Amino acid sequence: MGMDLTNEIYVSDMSLSTTMSKTVHETVNRVLEGKTISKTESYELFTTGDKNLLLAVAIALRNKYKNNSITYSRKVFINLVNLCRDSCSYCTYKKEPYEKSLSLLSPAQVIAIAEIGKKSRCTEALFVTGERPEQKYSEVRSWLRSNGHTSTIEFIREMSQSVLDKTGLLPHTNAGSLTKEEISLLKDTNVSLGMMLESTSERLMEKGMPHEMAPSKNPKLRIKTLKNAGELKMPITTGLLVGIGETSEDILNSLYVIRDIHKEYGHIQEVIMQNFSPKPHTGMAKSLPCSQYYFLKSVAMARIIMPDMNIQVPPNLSPNSFSEYLDAGINDWGGISPVTIDYVNPEFAWPSIKSVKDITNARGYNLRARLPIYPEFLQRKDYVSPKLEFNISMLSDASGLVKEDSEN
């Protein structure tokens, strides 16, 4: 690959090859040859490299390591409990007990939502909760007791099993930081977990910063959760929230931490790159959104640092420009629901699956539905509980993606 491909990348824009520094040129060569680059080299590439250069390198890597498909997961969003012990200054998900939009779902409500998802050919039941709400709210403790439990994770486990038994949908849980014992509780009923690292910057927890009132966003705690999942061979999705006050160094450090944890354990199935957009009635309502220029470069760097990783950007957070992420090296759109809103980002409606398909096809890719566990994990020993194998087999084809007759 090397120099030949580098020259091919720049042939359409000679200004890049003439203005690019010698060290950046050498770094690009090494990346395209499949060699590892240091944080220092990544930083120079990120901060001095032109956006078009980074996108071109990211696309070259994406096409080398991934096939022609762009995937997504057809999901139903089960907003189990939206009370949370944390208070992030950009969040509209968290509610208080007095709010009309409070969610404390009963088992019957959970199954009813899952059944709607099944009728709409969803394959994923996404369970989302606030972070350990029982530690702060007596209302949650009472709700859990009325359902025979003392912790949110125990209740998720029961509801996950019920959804499996009654609908066949595959549970995937986003419940924040988890202990090893909690992950063990979920492994037989969830094909995968999700927890955003968001950032490795502890500065974001300082006074006046986004995570000041969010102890669960401590990077050490989040990293520990990722390692807990790795030790238990539990596939997990993680990622970054870009534009909340982190520096360029923070972004790169966070990506390298994810890369290194995956290198050690091999269990991170996907990295989500999420762009910050200010929301009304939050502490960051007047903050500037993450610029598209900066975000596209960040997405490209995720591909450059982890060339064979599944890289996702949610399309609903950039309704007028999400097609551009296909030029930044992504290979997944994440979960899209045809029946429920994005309760974490209710201000941003899902695009229709048809519109996502049309945009993906127009860029020369094929849109395919996947399960909430990526195909590469289905054949790996100990990454799938034997108790989940039948449910997976009913939904997947020989490639590990969703049977095509179930996608349409």
pLDDT reading at 7 higher than 70:
no
Q: What is the mean pLDDT of the chain?
A: 94
Secondary structure of residue 137 in the 3-state scheme: coil
Q: For 145-167, how does the pLDDT look when each residue is reduced to its tens digit (9 = 90+)?
A: 999 999 999 999 999 999 999 99
Tell me the Cα Rg of the chain. Answer: 21
Q: Are residues 252 and 39 in contact, defined by beta-carbon separation less than 8 angstroms?
A: yes
**Helix (H), strand (E) at residue 171:** strand 170-174
**Helix (H), strand (E) at residue 369:** strand 366-370
Q: Please give the domain boundaries of the chain with CATH numbers for all domains.
A: 2-65 (no CATH), 69-407 (3.20.20.70)
How far apart are the C-alpha atoms of 235 and 313, rounded to whole Å?
19
Rounded to the nearest angstrom, the gap between the alpha carbon of residue 361 and the centroid of all alpha carbons in its chain is 22
Task: State the amino acid at position 96 in one-letter form.
Answer: E
pLDDT reading at 169 higher than 80:
yes
- Given this model, what pLDDT does residue 404 score? 81
Phi-psi label, residue 287: left if phi above 0, alpha if psi -120 to 50, beta otherwise: beta
Name residues whose C-beta falls within 8 Å of residue 200's C-beta, 6 or more positions apart in sequence.
Answer: 219, 223, 250, 253, 254, 257
Q: Are residues 160 and 173 in contact, defined by beta-carbon separation less than 8 angstroms?
A: yes
Rounded to the nearest angstrom, the gap between the alpha carbon of residue 104 and the centroid of all alpha carbons in its chain is 24
Q: Are residues 312 and 271 in contact, defined by beta-carbon separation less than 8 angstroms?
A: yes
Tokens for 59, please give them: 């696309």
Where helices occur in 66-106 by DSSP H, the ranges are: none
- Taking the whole predicted model, whether its pTM rises above 0.85 is answered as yes
Q: Are residues 235 and 204 in contact, defined by beta-carbon separation less than 8 angstroms?
A: no
- Around Cβ 96, how many Cβ atoms within 10 Å? 12
Percent pLDDT > 70 in the chain is: 94
DSSP 45-102: HHHHS-HHHHHHHHHHHHHHHS-SEEEEEEEEEEEEE---S-B-TT-SS---TTSTT-
pLDDT reading at 330 higher than 60:
yes
